[in-house]
């Protein structure tokens, strides 16, 4: 809403949400659908003096239409605490029946007490809601008590109407407000920006009502009433209009120490400014006890220029701020309601830094010196600004009542979020990743040695070629050198480096067949002997138990321990570990037992596998003596690729 809004022109609020209440006939149809004109049972829960000022106009509106609504009032929080004025009495004075009083505040005025208060409310509220069984609960704002209310209602499948969602202030209240938004089913917001914030938070636009602030329905009709009697009652008979200050400052729960220091500087500046000042006690947030101590330390309650009070009834408070020379502090009232009167406001610190404000508000974001605050008082005091209608035009309650009547209780309770369209997500499943990566491979050609990075589809990503040395030792040395070089490049390509066991794979029509367990064609774990040695997989007699690098190393150690490994031309240093290479070397030098172990290892099963599927390419992973595969290759195998470490 802007300053050009005419009170009688509701079309300035039009949007998709107004499809809900275009005509009274639509409302009647909805009521009939809800069950033979059954009244909508509305529970309004109020936690403190501030939220009651916003909820009271709605409560009066609901009470005035008994043919449509049943009203239940629940009072909790600081309303019921003497130190904060026992403000539940003003609800009774407004002639509302309080159905339930819940003592939910754990005293201490620190962070832990706030958390404990939320927990206590969550313990007590289920019994109340089970007894009242409301169709909808109205929750206001961003207080920790309101979070407990919304959480309880949401978990008990009670529809929630949230008042003043989508706004931005600047402290923990933002997080609480947005959390309630996500729990709420319907939203009443006060400004265009708040409406856009709710839409950006993926709330359904059809369930958002831009109505304005309910308190403005009172504010815009209040200024012309008799006010001098109220000023004299609270500030003294010698005080004139526009010649006093209203101060209202709360702790900032995310920076308590700084907010207490800022309050101390504010009081010092007000003492120096030497004008009659009405100081209201802070709210019950963490840090408020320390702020009260600061007031008493400075003698504010007994100072001739100050009047310190716990509570002022809202109707009287309106008159006091409307005719003040200035308001100072960090209350949302200063940046919201006071703008309706054009009263100068000094907003201290960051508690309301994100609020939309009129030109009557002067921000002192870093209120770190008394002089800075004093200068702001000199600049603002006694000015008169144009009245602002950012937060309302005085017709909020009728819109809210129409919105309530339009709620269809037969609609699914589960709320839906209007997420923006996004691209289809790409699978991040580990098996999918492994299947699409590359592997390091060695092609044992006759003339040349070739090491390649090969994709799972059999495509060569990168190839390294060297002339094949004549001696076995040089060949092994060159292969390892080429593999190290390729592995370094493979890291950049997410190369899959396989283990030292015997693996396998089937590429069919350019796709790797993985099977239901993603372990298809795992050749190393084919059982070839039920009485064979133990395998690491838990079975007995797997090919890997006979022919893997670890298996051959085990056999080499066994021969070495029996002094049957070494032959003429061989030696093993004392500190050197016996490996499968020693077994191969012994076989080449004529060790019959070593040669027997290599030949009896059931490597031929892998070659038999090629006969079963007749592939054009075989990838054999693991560190098994490659000479066995070369000599055993079948004629139909066009390409042999060794996948190694």
pLDDT at res. 44: 97
pLDDT at res. 514: 57
pLDDT at res. 130: 96
Section 27-55 average pLDDT: 78
Q: How confident is the model at residue 176 (pLDDT cuts 50, 70, 90)?
A: very high
190 annotated to bind ligand: no
Section 98-111 average pLDDT: 91
The DSSP line for 93-123 is: HTT--EEEEE--PPSS-SHHHHHHHHHHHHH
pLDDT at res. 22: 45
Q: Tokens 């009557």 label which residue?
A: 360
Domains of the chain in start order, with CATH, are 37-219 (3.40.50.2000), 223-380 (3.40.50.2000)
Q: Most confidently modeled of 245-249, 503-507, 575-579?
A: 245-249
Q: How far is the CA of 29 from the CAs of 18, 36, 70, 186, in angstroms?
A: 16, 10, 19, 20
Q: How confident is the model at residue 511 (pLDDT cuts 50, 70, 90)?
A: low
Determine which of 180-194, 228-242, 564-578 has the lowest per-residue pLDDT on average.
Answer: 564-578
542 annotated to bind ligand: yes
- In 3-state terms, what secondary structure has residue 416? coil
Q: Examine the pLDDT at 334 and tell me if it is beyond 60.
A: yes
**Average model confidence (pLDDT) for the chain?**
80
Q: Examine the pLDDT at 152 and tell me if it is beyond 70.
A: yes
Residue 72 contacts residue 125 (beta carbons within 8 Å): no
CA distance 142 to 254: 15
Who has greater pLDDT, 358 or 600? 358
Closest by alpha carbon to 56, among 398, 404, 397?
397
Q: Examine the pLDDT at 179 and tell me if it is beyond 90.
A: yes
Q: How confident is the model at residue 102 (pLDDT cuts 50, 70, 90)?
A: very high
Buried b (16+ CB within 10 A) or exposed e, 526-558: beeeeebeebeeeeebbbbbbbbbbbbbbbbbe
pLDDT at res. 534: 79
Q: How confident is the model at residue 43 (pLDDT cuts 50, 70, 90)?
A: very high
Q: How confident is the model at residue 169 (pLDDT cuts 50, 70, 90)?
A: confident
CA distance 315 to 322: 11
Q: Examine the pLDDT at 21 and tell me if it is beyond 60.
A: no
Q: Examine the pLDDT at 80 and tell me if it is beyond 60.
A: yes
Who has greater pLDDT, 158 or 171? 158
pLDDT at res. 521: 58
Does an H or E element contain 318, and which?
Answer: helix 314-322
pLDDT tens-digit map of 193-225: 999 999 999 999 999 999 999 999 888 877 666
Residue 58 contacts residue 44 (beta carbons within 8 Å): yes
pLDDT tens-digit map of 458-498: 677 788 888 878 787 887 788 788 877 877 776 565 554 44
Cross-strand pairs, 618: 640
Contacts of 225 (CB under 8 A, 6+ apart): 319
Q: Examine the pLDDT at 605 and tell me if it is beyond 50.
A: no
Who has greater pLDDT, 16 or 437? 437
Closest by alpha carbon to 51, among 31, 30, 76, 28?
76
- In 3-state terms, what secondary structure has residue 605? helix
pLDDT at res. 272: 96
Determine which of 200-204, 292-296, 547-551 has the lowest per-residue pLDDT on average.
Answer: 547-551
pLDDT at res. 232: 95
Q: Examine the pLDDT at 356 and tell me if it is beyond 80.
A: yes
Q: pLDDT > 90: what percent of the chain?
A: 46
Determine which of 91-105, 390-404, 631-645 has the lowest per-residue pLDDT on average.
Answer: 631-645
CA distance 313 to 325: 20
pLDDT at res. 5: 38
Q: Examine the pLDDT at 507 and tell me if it is beyond 90.
A: no
Q: How confident is the model at residue 583 (pLDDT cuts 50, 70, 90)?
A: confident
535 annotated to bind ligand: yes
- Angle, vertex CA 43, rays to CA 42 and CA 45, nearest 5: 145
Contacts of 326 (CB under 8 A, 6+ apart): 245, 246, 343, 344, 345, 346, 377, 380, 381, 382, 383
């Amino acid at each position: 809403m802007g300053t050009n809004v005419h009170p009688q022109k509701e079309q300035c609020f039009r949007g998709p949400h107004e499809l809900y209440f275009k005509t009274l006939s639509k409302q009647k149809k909805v009521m009939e659908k809800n069950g033979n004109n059954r009244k909508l049972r509305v529970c309004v829960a109020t936690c403190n003096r501030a939220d009651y000022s916003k909820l009271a106009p709605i409560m009066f509106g609901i009470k005035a239409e008994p043919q449509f609504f049943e009203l239940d009032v629940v009072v909790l929080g600081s309303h019921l605490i003497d130190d904060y004025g026992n403000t539940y009495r003003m609800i009774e004075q407004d002639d509302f029946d309080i159905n339930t009083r819940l003592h939910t505040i754990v005293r201490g005025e620190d962070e832990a007490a706030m958390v404990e208060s939320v927990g206590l409310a969550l313990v007590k509220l289920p019994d109340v809601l089970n007894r009242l069984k409301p169709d909808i609960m109205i929750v206001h704002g961003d207080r920790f008590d309101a979070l407990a209310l919304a959480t309880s209602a949401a978990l008990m499948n009670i529809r929630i109407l949230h008042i003043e969602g989508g706004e931005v202030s600047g402290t923990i209240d933002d997080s609480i407000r947005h959390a309630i938004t996500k729990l709420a089913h319907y939203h009443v917001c006060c400004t265009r920006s708040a409406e856009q914030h709710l839409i950006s938070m993926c709330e359904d636009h059809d369930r958002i009502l831009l109505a304005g602030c309910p308190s403005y329905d009172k504010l815009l009709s209040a200024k012309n009433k008799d006010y001098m009697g109220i000023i004299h009652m609270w500030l003294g008979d010698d005080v004139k209009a526009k010649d006093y200050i209203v101060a209202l400052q709360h702790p900032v729960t995310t920076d308590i120490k700084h907010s207490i220091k800022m309050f101390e500087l504010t009081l010092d500046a007000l003492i120096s400014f030497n004008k009659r000042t009405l100081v209201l006690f802070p709210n019950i947030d963490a840090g408020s006890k320390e702020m009260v101590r600061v007031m008493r330390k400075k003698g504010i309650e007994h100072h001739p220029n100050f009047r310190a009070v716990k509570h002022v009834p809202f109707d009287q408070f309106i008159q006091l701020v409307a005719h003040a020379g200035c308001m100072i502090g960090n209350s949302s009232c200063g940046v919201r309601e006071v703008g309706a009167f054009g009263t100068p406001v000094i907003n201290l610190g960051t508690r309301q830094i994100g609020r939309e404000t009129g030109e009557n508000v002067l921000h002192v974001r870093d209120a770190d010196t008394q002089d800075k605050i004093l200068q702001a008082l000199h600049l603002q005091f006694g000015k008169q600004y144009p009245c602002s209608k950012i937060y309302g035009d005085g017709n909020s309650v009728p819109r809210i009542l129409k919105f309530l009547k339009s709620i269809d209780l037969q609609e699914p309770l589960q709320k839906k979020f209007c997420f923006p369209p996004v691209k289809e997500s790409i699978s991040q499943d580990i098996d999918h990743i492994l299947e699409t990566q590359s592997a390091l491979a060695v092609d044992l050609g006759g003339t040349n040695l070739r090491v390649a990075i090969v994709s799972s589809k059999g495509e060569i990503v990168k190839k390294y070629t060297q002339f094949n040395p004549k001696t076995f030792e040089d060949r092994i040395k060159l292969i390892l050198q080429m593999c190290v070089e390729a592995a370094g490049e493979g890291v950049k390509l997410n190369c899959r480096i396989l283990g030292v066991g015997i693996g396998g794979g089937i590429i069919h029509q350019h796709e790797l067949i993985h099977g239901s367990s993603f372990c298809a064609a795992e050749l190393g774990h084919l059982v070839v002997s039920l009485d064979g040695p133990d395998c690491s997989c838990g079975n007995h007699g797997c090919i890997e138990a006979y022919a893997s690098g670890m298996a051959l190393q085990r056999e080499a150690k066994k021969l070495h321990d029996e002094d049957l490994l070494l032959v003429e031309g061989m030696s093993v240093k004392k500190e050197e570990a016996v490996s499968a290479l020693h077994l191969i070397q012994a076989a080449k030098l004529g060790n019959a037992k070593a040669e027997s172990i290599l030949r009896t290892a059931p490597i031929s099963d892998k070659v038999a596998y090629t006969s079963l599927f007749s592939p054009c390419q075989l990838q054999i992973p693991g560190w098994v003596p490659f000479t066995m595969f070369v000599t055993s290759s079948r004629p139909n195998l066009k390409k042999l690729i060794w996948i190694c470490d």
